[in-house]
């Protein structure tokens, strides 16, 4: 029996469980789950659409290169958040557990086993792609920060005062010291 024929009718349930588990990794998952407006909830919408696309690519055995788009959209979000690298890409592996849970009820497990191994191998390849995309995003963020420091713009974004404000403060302090010295 073909794995796609077994999993296609369960597509909505599987993708919804996957989306819910990924959104649970965020601080306020209820907002991300309930708010359906893509403009009010861009993170939830991007993750939801991306996971549905990824599942279709994996299930339909399409070229894994197609996964780069939806995977990149999700990883770009997770790369700028307070996740470790493993937390950022671990969502891909959640699909394995969900699919195994769904297939546990099937009777012809031996026949499913061979197809499931191939499906899980594809998931592993997507997880490796996710890690590569994550590392690329982090490298770009690092390069942006370096460029900000080199250009002097980092003073505007890192919480320190800008150079002109520091110079003005020093000038004011110097003028105050001069006036104090005159009075004494």
pLDDT tens digits in sequence order for the chain, 184 residues long: 578 888 888 999 999 999 999 999 887 777 777 777 788 888 889 999 999 999 999 999 899 999 999 999 999 999 998 899 999 999 999 999 999 998 888 777 777 877 888 899 999 999 999 999 999 999 999 998 888 878 776 655 555 656 666 677 777 887 777 777 777 6
Same domain as 10, residue 67: yes
Residues 125 and 178 in one domain: no
Q: Which domain holds residue 177?
A: 157-184
What pLDDT is stored for residue 20 in this prediction?
A: 92
Conformation bin of residue 71: beta by default, left when phi > 0, alpha when psi is -120 to 50? alpha
Q: What is the count of structural domains for the chain?
A: 2
**DSSP-H helix ranges across the chain:** 3-7, 11-23, 29-34, 42-59, 68-79, 85-89, 91-103, 109-151, 154-157, 163-183
Residue 67 has a pLDDT of 96
102 and 163 part of one domain: no
**What pLDDT is recorded for position 173?**
80
Beta strands (DSSP E) in the chain are none
The token duo for 140 is: 């770009």
110 in the same domain as 24: yes
**CA-CA-CA-CA torsion sign (131, 10, 42, 44):** negative
Whether residues 94 and 39 fall in one domain:
yes
Residues 169 and 83 in one domain: no
- Check residue 135 and give its pLDDT: 96
> Do 132 and 168 share a domain, yes or no?
no
Residue 160 pLDDT: 60
Q: Residue 156 has what pLDDT?
A: 54
The per-residue pLDDT for 146 is 86
Predicted local confidence at residue 178, as pLDDT: 77
pTM: 0.77
């Amino acid at each position: 029996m073909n794995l796609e024929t077994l999993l296609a009718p369960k597509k909505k349930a599987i993708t919804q469980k996957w989306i819910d588990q990924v959104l649970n990794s965020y601080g306020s998952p209820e907002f991300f789950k309930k708010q359906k407006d893509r403009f009010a909830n861009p993170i939830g919408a991007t993750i939801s659409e991306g996971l549905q696309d990824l599942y279709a690519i994996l299930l339909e055995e399409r070229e894994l290169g197609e996964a780069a788009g939806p995977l990149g959209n999700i990883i770009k979000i997770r790369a700028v958040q307070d996740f470790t690298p493993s937390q950022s890409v671990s969502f891909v592996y959640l699909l394995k557990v969900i699919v195994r849970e769904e297939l546990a009820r099937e009777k012809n497990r031996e026949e499913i086993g061979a197809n499931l191994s191939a499906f899980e191998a594809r998931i592993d390849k997507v997880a490796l792609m996710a890690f590569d995309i994550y590392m690329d995003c982090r490298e770009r963020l690092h390069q942006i920060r370096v460029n900000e420091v080199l250009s002097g713009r980092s003073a505007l974004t890192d919480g320190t005062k800008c150079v002109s404000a520091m110079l003005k403060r020093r000038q004011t302090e110097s003028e105050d010291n001069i006036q104090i010295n005159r009075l004494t």
